[in-house]
């Protein structure tokens, strides 16, 4: 990385050090780009682990929550397939990712929250806030900085930007009549800590994915009552605990079509269904997992169900998913009229300097992994063309 009168400059900035960002970083290094000189990774998390570090303690790795191995992870003797399934998933992922970053000497600067990206003409200016709470890596030298708790605004100018920000920072809560007048507590997946918070309370869980199902099971025997509602009937995948090939291909194709058209991305689970794991099957057999159609309205003390019935609620848990976190790209004007960003093969159709990892058809950990190599190659190709 070079220092100019205005700001440090580099050739590539990767935003986000989750599955997608680390996969791209690994391949950038393999393709010969020099860490701390040609490229750097900015990650807003306080530690390694991507979004997984923020997940709740009861979540375990398994068939319903699977993480694909990062490229080259076998070199460390690590694999999520053989990881400890009795330990919290967040701890396992955080440990594995930290060891991965260290082993491959990836230039990750954290916590560094990217504010926005501005078009300077030939280059892009990335503005971010950096707080060095402990000794961290300086993006310019790769050396250790002094421990401090101060937050400073900083900028880096770059030739190419890889956005690998995922969705965790943009929780989605749908609007229903009366939502804002509810007198109880409303909790999204992103702020769920533990079912014990809701001991003795009446809880309504909203959502048809694995998180909602897990919350309902965690609340069993803890909450006074649990009502589970879903916008569409849950499609259980019986006979296997792994995602069916046909369902996976169809879901990826649907995501890809939406991304290319610049449309809002559809829900993954709506196209793949939910694996009927042993735990989920047992919950159905016990009568714990009983889904109902989503309510038609929210009242101050509960919800009005589709059949006209009323359920008292102290808490509504919104396990309703997330949206891609792309606010930092707003100054570039990449969003289309269809509500999304037009992306083809991981590249913005409006600005070839902007790449997307883990977006649309790459949203799963497997997809993000596979896209890492392709995106890194495209980045290098862009850099080479700019030198000609």
> Could you give the domains of the chain?
2-168+322-387 (3.50.50.60), 179-241+276-318 (3.50.50.60)
Residue 148 confidence class, pLDDT cut points 50, 70, 90: very low
Taking 70 as the threshold, does the pLDDT of residue 133 lie above it? no
Strand 8-15 with 151-163, pairing: parallel
Q: Looking at residue 363, what is its pLDDT? A: 67
Highest mean pLDDT among 291-305, 321-335, 353-367: 291-305
Taking 50 as the threshold, does the pLDDT of residue 144 lie above it? no
Task: Tell me the average pLDDT of the chain.
Answer: 88
Task: Give tens-digit pLDDT for 75-107.
Answer: 999 999 999 999 999 999 999 999 999 999 999
Task: Give tens-digit pLDDT for 347-370.
Answer: 999 999 999 998 877 766 666 677
C-alpha distance from residue 348 to each of 16, 197, 213, 328, 356 (Å) = 17, 43, 35, 14, 7
Strand 8-15 with 39-42, pairing: parallel
- When pLDDT is averaged across residues 122-141 and rounded to a whole number, the result is 69
Identify the three-state secondary structure at position 369.
helix
- When pLDDT is averaged across residues 249-262 and rounded to a whole number, the result is 77
Spell out where the chain has E strands.
2-3, 8-15, 39-42, 108-109, 112-119, 124-131, 151-163, 185-188, 202-206, 225-230, 236-237, 274-275, 291-293, 297-299, 302-304, 310-312, 315-318, 343-344, 347-348, 354-356
Q: Looking at residue 388, what is its pLDDT? A: 57
Taking 70 as the threshold, does the pLDDT of residue 143 lie above it? no
Residue with tokens 């929250």: 113
Task: Give tens-digit pLDDT for 203-226.
Answer: 999 999 999 999 999 999 999 999
What's the rounded Cα separation, in Å, for the pair 104 and 74?
12
For 367, residues 6+ apart whose C-beta sits below 8 A from its C-beta are: 252, 358, 361
- When pLDDT is averaged across residues 327-354 and rounded to a whole number, the result is 91
């Amino acid at each position: 990385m070079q220092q100019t009168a205005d700001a440090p400059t580099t050739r590539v900035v990767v935003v986000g050090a989750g599955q997608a960002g680390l996969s791209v970083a690994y391949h950038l290094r393999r393709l010969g780009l020099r860490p701390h000189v040609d490229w750097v990774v900015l990650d807003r998390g306080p530690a390694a682990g991507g979004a997984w570090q923020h997940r709740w303690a009861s979540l375990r790795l398994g068939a319903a929550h699977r993480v694909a191995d990062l490229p080259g992870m076998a070199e460390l003797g690590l694999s999520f397939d053989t990881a400890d399934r009795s330990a919290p998933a967040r701890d396992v992922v955080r440990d594995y990712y930290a060891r991965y970053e260290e082993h491959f000497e990836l230039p990750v600067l954290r916590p560094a929250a990217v504010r926005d990206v501005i078009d300077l003409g030939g280059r892009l200016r990335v503005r971010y806030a950096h707080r060095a709470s402990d000794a961290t890596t300086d993006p310019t030298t790769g050396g250790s900085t002094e421990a401090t708790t101060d937050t400073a605004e900083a900028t880096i100018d770059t030739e190419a930007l890889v956005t690998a920000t995922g969705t965790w920072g943009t929780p989605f809560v749908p609007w229903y009549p009366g939502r804002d007048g509810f007198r109880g507590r409303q909790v999204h997946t992103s702020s769920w800590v533990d079912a014990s918070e809701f001991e003795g309370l009446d809880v309504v869980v909203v959502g048809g994915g694995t998180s909602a199902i897990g919350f309902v099971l965690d609340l069993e025997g803890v909450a006074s009552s649990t009502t589970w509602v879903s916008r569409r009937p849950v499609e259980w995948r019986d006979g296997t605990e792994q995602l069916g090939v046909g369902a996976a291909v169809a879901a990826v194709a649907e995501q890809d079509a939406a991304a290319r058209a610049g449309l809002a991305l559809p829900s993954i689970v709506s196209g793949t269904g939910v694996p009927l794991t042993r735990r989920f099957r047992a919950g159905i057999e016990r009568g714990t997992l009983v889904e109902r159609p989503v309510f038609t309205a929210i009242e101050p003390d509960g919800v009005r169900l589709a059949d006209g019935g009323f359920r008292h609620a102290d808490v509504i848990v919104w396990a309703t998913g997330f949206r891609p976190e792309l606010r930092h790209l707003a100054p570039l004007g990449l969003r289309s009229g269809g509500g999304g960003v037009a992306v083809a093969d991981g590249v913005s159709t409006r600005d070839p300097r902007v790449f997307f990892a883990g977006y649309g058809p790459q949203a799963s950990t497997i997809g993000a992994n596979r896209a890492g190599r392709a995106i890194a190659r495209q980045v290098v190709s862009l850099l080479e063309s700019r030198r000609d």
